[in-house]
Structure 1
Amino acid sequence: MRAYLAGPDVFLPNAGEVGQHKAAVCRRYGFTGHFPLDGALKLDHLGSYDRGLAIYRANLEAMTACDLVFLNLTPFRGPSADAGTVFELGWLIAAGKPVFAYSSESRPYAARVMPDAYAIERHDMHDNLMLHAAVVEQGWEIVSVPEPSGKEPLAAMSAFHQAVELAAERLHRPDLS
């Protein structure tokens, strides 16, 4: 089974290394992991705008080809998940792909948002209710495991390992779900 590895991990300075590690974890559990930076996408000849379009198209192609997704919902550049990852979540749910989500942040969304003049969702959910519900309505949970001290929280490796293990149990042994 081909697994798309979505998340803000692509912005890490060692993104390629993180992607290779996550793909190796996938292999141990019978999945073929595809990290968005894996492809042989040639961008050097393109301007910045066209590079963005090419990356978008390549990611859509990879998501179309996948059987399931491991989605990193660790907050990025604010209290909520990465905007591109959120788009991918919606697209993958609409395409009927199984979504297995994880995060290194264990506090609920309302605990991460600074109070201001606007209402705050207080539904005891990991992130915005539309993101959380999209995952939970599939019969899945968002695996939240804080990273040990000294480990990169954005990569969310501890939670990723648990999510892949749980997905393998569920998909390879459906009688356990």
Structure 2
Amino acid sequence: MIRTLYLAGPDVFRPDARERGRMLKALCAEAGFEGLFPLDQEVPAHLTAPAAQAAWIYRANIALLERADAVLANLDFFRGPEPDSGTCFEVGYAVAKGKPVFGYIPEHGSFAQRIRQRHPQAIGADGVLDTQGWSIEEFGLPLNLMLSVPAPLVVGDARTALVQLVRYRDAREAAPTK
């Protein structure tokens, strides 16, 4: 049964990150879930060295991922034409643990189409390679295949993804057990 959701995404970097976390948790509650937002935890005051703070945050986020039954991930582009790398790690961690992951992105289109639309400066003159001559993944999926294949990706926002997650949960709970 899915009761708790780890709220992954670059939302923790927003200027209004704590308010955003409260809003995401409220959406989760409306859908019948408990949202676990990384910034709900405070780095202990005695940890002043950046490396110690980073290690504490890593361990705290892993503990939240372990506690969660599933992950709701904001996989929109962040600081360029890719999702946040920390969020990608969290998605991979959850998938490796066998936890369902539901991601959301703001628009339709393949990964390459979305890059061309939102980050045209990253595309080379031929439209097939990036500006460094590297190929742009094109499998018709909305993100890199390592994110698109294991995690249903919803076009829309967190609320839209939660609707899909509720359908998934309800279908699983209604399915006969062996």
- TM value normalised by structure 2: 0.83
For residue 28 of structure 1, what is the aligned residue in structure 2?
A: 30
Alpha-carbon offset, residue 169 of structure 1: 2.0
Alpha-carbon offset, residue 44 of structure 1: 5.3
Counting matched residue pairs gives 158
For residue 68 of structure 1, what is the aligned residue in structure 2?
A: 70
For residue 129 of structure 1, what is the aligned residue in structure 2?
A: 145
For residue 90 of structure 1, what is the aligned residue in structure 2?
A: 92
Among all aligned residue pairs of Structure 1 and Structure 2, give the percentage whose two residues are the same amino acid: 36
Question: Structure 1: which 5+ runs fail to align?
Answer: 136-140, 146-158
- 1:142 aligned to 2:153? yes
> Aligned equivalents of 1:98 and 1:128: distance in 2?
18
Q: How does 1:90-129 map to 2 (within 5 A)?
A: 90-111=92-113, 112=115, 114-115=123-124, 116=131, 117-129=133-145
Q: 3-state SS of the aligned residue for 1:121?
A: coil
Q: 3-state SS of the aligned residue for 2:38?
A: coil
Q: Cα RMSD (Å) of the superposition? A: 1.6
Question: Structure 2: which 5+ runs fail to align?
Answer: 116-121, 125-130
> Aligned equivalents of 1:102 and 1:44: distance in 2?
37
For residue 6 of structure 1, what is the aligned residue in structure 2?
A: 8
Alpha-carbon offset, residue 114 of structure 1: 1.6
The answer (yes or no) to whether the contact 2:5–2:70 under 8 Å persists in 1 is yes
The answer (yes or no) to whether the contact 2:43–2:53 under 8 Å persists in 1 is no
For residue 127 of structure 2, what is the aligned residue in structure 1?
A: none
For residue 170 of structure 1, what is the aligned residue in structure 2?
A: 168
Q: Which structure 1 residue ranges, 4+ long, deviate > 3 Å from structure 2?
A: 173-176
Alpha-carbon offset, residue 108 of structure 1: 2.2
Q: Partner letter of residue 154 of structure 2? A: V
For residue 47 of structure 2, what is the aligned residue in structure 1?
A: 45
> Aligned equivalents of 2:171 and 2:88: distance in 1?
29
Q: 3-state SS of the aligned residue for 2:39?
A: coil
Deviations 1:75-125 (A, max 9, x none): 101111100000011110000111011112433211205233111111111
Structure having the higher Rg: 2
